[in-house]
Amino acid sequence: MTTGNMISLGVALVVLVYGVMLYNGLVAVKHNVTKTWANIDILLKQRHDELPKLVEVCKQYKAFEQETLRRVIEARSRVQSAREARNIGALGEAEGALRMGLGRLFAVAEAYPELKANENFTQLQQRISALENGIADRRELYNDAVNINNVRVEQFPDAIIARLFHFEDKPFLKFSRAEKADVDLKPLFD
């Protein structure tokens, strides 16, 4: 084998090893997005399971505002549908509606001292609040993972491998406009 052939073979081997390293890096980033989504999914499922219990406790108080309960139930259903469909855009909107509904439910509960004193209600409220905080934390981690994925997929030379092996951008989990807007609490206390 001539020196020229050995150099060509060496260069080809270096390019191949570099290409494999890029590919493996993209695979790791893609799976990190999947893993962070799975972490959100677990918390969404746990909250999904807790909400009917909260609604049932509130229903025991006949005077409790039924419209608030209806909104929470509908929002819960929309979150579940978006979660099962893995529709990140719809999930962001549904999450906003559910958070607003829960906020209203907890605010309205302030007017019901017997409900606030109910041990089941208090435990469920604390559990759901903890899940909400966990979801917010995981949402941030998910969006960070998506950002890293999307940068790698577009960045040269990773973009060559990404296009060749069909790696693609992932959607961010965005907040709805309603969730980012200031909350008007005045109607709750009228």
Element (H, E) at 159: helix 158-164
Task: Look up the domain containing 77 and give its range.
Answer: 34-150+171-189
User: Cα separation of 21 and 118, whole Å?
Assistant: 58
Please choose, from the candidates 103, 107, 124, the residue with its C-alpha nearest in 3D space to the C-alpha of residue 179: 103
In a domain, 105, yes or no: yes
Longest Cα separation, the chain: 92
In a domain, 115, yes or no: yes
In a domain, 158, yes or no: no
In a domain, 65, yes or no: yes
In a domain, 59, yes or no: yes
| Residue 43 pLDDT > 50 | yes
| Residue 187 pLDDT > 50 | no
What pLDDT sits at residue 24? 95
The CATH number of residue 102's host domain is: 1.20.1440.20
Please choose, from the candidates 40, 104, 118, the residue with its C-alpha nearest in 3D space to the C-alpha of residue 74: 104
Number of domains in the chain: 1
Please choose, from the candidates 141, 125, 152, the residue with its C-alpha nearest in 3D space to the C-alpha of residue 54: 125
DSSP 1: -
What pLDDT sits at residue 186? 45
Please choose, from the candidates 50, 186, 73, the residue with its C-alpha nearest in 3D space to the C-alpha of residue 129: 50
In a domain, 155, yes or no: no
- When pLDDT is cut at 50, 70 and 90, the band that residue 70 belongs to is confident
In a domain, 25, yes or no: no
User: Cα separation of 56 and 49, whole Å?
Assistant: 12
153: its two tokens: 């997929």
Element (H, E) at 13: helix 3-59
| Residue 190 pLDDT > 50 | no
Read off the pLDDT of residues 23-37 as tens digits, 9 standing for 90 and up. 999 999 999 999 999
In a domain, 64, yes or no: yes
Read off the pLDDT of residues 111-154 as tens digits, 9 standing for 90 and up. 888 887 888 888 999 999 999 999 999 999 999 999 999 999 99
Read off the pLDDT of residues 77-92 as tens digits, 9 standing for 90 and up. 999 999 999 888 888 8
